[in-house]
Amino acid sequence: MNFLRVLAVLLVIQCSWSCNKTKEKKSSEFVMKTSKTYDYDVVIPDLNIPWGFVFLPDNSILVTEKSGELIHFKNGKKTQIKGLPEIKPLGQGGLMDIELHPDYRTNGWIYISYASPEGNGNGANTAIMRCKLKGNTLTEQEVLYKANPNSRRGQHFGSRLTFDNEGYLYFTIGDRGNRDVNPQNIERDCGKVYRIHDDGRIPVSNPFVKDRNAKKAIFSYGHRNPQGMEKHPVTGKIWTHEHGPRGGDEINIIDKGENYGWPLASFGINYSGTKFTDKTSIAGMIDPIHHWTPSIAPSGMTFVTSDKYPEMRGNLLVGSLKFQYISHCILKDNKVVKEEKLLEGIGRLRSLEQGPDGYIYAGVENVGIVKIIPKK
């Protein structure tokens, strides 16, 4: 009898060990691993906060510094561009993203987002401008959109820019730290993804153009602070990521007129550790396709389409400000199924772009623009 009891105990222990190993394997499948297969070269050194950058047709680079400088890097030299609009660096705001018109070679339009003091109220809010570069000066400036009212708060200006396949310009504006008023109210700016024509006109197909009191440029709402936005290279859909509070950073696929839940639903909590909602999903609102808890503080994103990185092609790269690495998000059926850390410890990742040469470039705070190179 004693032998049988001992045998039974051993069987239970073995089963428990085996089950725990199975559970451990399942839970560790999504643990981020650091890749040792990439290196980098510093292409543009000595930048502070390179918020955004674009490649011009001659392969020179325009870089926005959050402090309010636009830098043209060509033939190894940096030139400061003149003629910028009035920019008010305020907390997280300043000179932010930059994008070229899809037909830039023909029309020369450049688009920028920045914290502007123009308009109602004290402080600043996000503005979208288009302009042209003539020599070392911005010309033909046109403000296409200005969020109102201004706020003295320094949080959550957004603001990324991208074009879709139909030539519409999308931009993001964060909730400006007013989570309980702005994101869920389509009659107010902030906490939204917007869509306009390239000249600032409101598309008649925008979801709220027939709502008399709505901000007609709004395309989706219920966002906190989206600092990543890209068009999917295959589907043409607009993808964003946004900062959560303490936890709950999100990746979303943006659909017309939809509510993305902030702050009614979130995986995050207050910075103090208290809860502001007990819901992570609400019927009728769109759930994120992926979230990070704890927060990685995402900024910048790009899809990899280049043959330079066959192991990453078709996947998404996201920068982490907080943990200072690039997250290689491996995608399957529009879901992130695994993540891998690249260039861990390089610095605060602010911006990401795939260059015309097929290489991935990253804007790293207090480092500069770096080129990601696969190790041989």
Distance between CA atoms of residues 54 and 353, nearest Å: 8
156 is a catalytic site residue: yes
Query: CA 47: distance to chain centroid?
Result: 20
Query: CA 370: distance to chain centroid?
Result: 18
Amino acid letter, residue 368: G
Provide the sign of the torsion angle of the four alpha carbons 48, 54, 57, 59, taken in this order. Answer: positive
Distance between CA atoms of residues 205 and 346, nearest Å: 43
Q: Which residue in 156, 243, 291, 328 is the catalytic one?
A: 156
Dmax (CA) of the chain: 94
Q: Which two tokens stand for residue 49?
A: 């906060």
Burial per residue of 142-180, b for 16 or more beta-carbon CB atoms within 10 angstroms, e otherwise: eebbbbeebbebbbbbbbbbbbbeeebbbbbbbbbbbbe
- Beta partners for residue 351, in sequence order: 363
Q: Which two tokens stand for residue 106?
A: 């023909």
Provide the sign of the torsion angle of the four alpha carbons 30, 35, 41, 46, taken in this order. Answer: positive
Instruction: Give start and end residues of each alpha helix (H) in the chain.
Output: 2-28, 104-107
Q: What is the DSSP string of 49-105?
A: -EEEEEE-TTS-EEEEETTTEEEEEETTEEEEPB-PPP---BTTBSEEEEEE-TTHH
Distance between CA atoms of residues 207 and 256, nearest Å: 6
Q: How many CB atoms lie within 10 A of CB 301?
A: 26
Query: CA 300: distance to chain centroid?
Result: 4
Q: How many CB atoms lie within 10 A of CB 40?
A: 19
Q: Which residues are catalytic?
A: 156
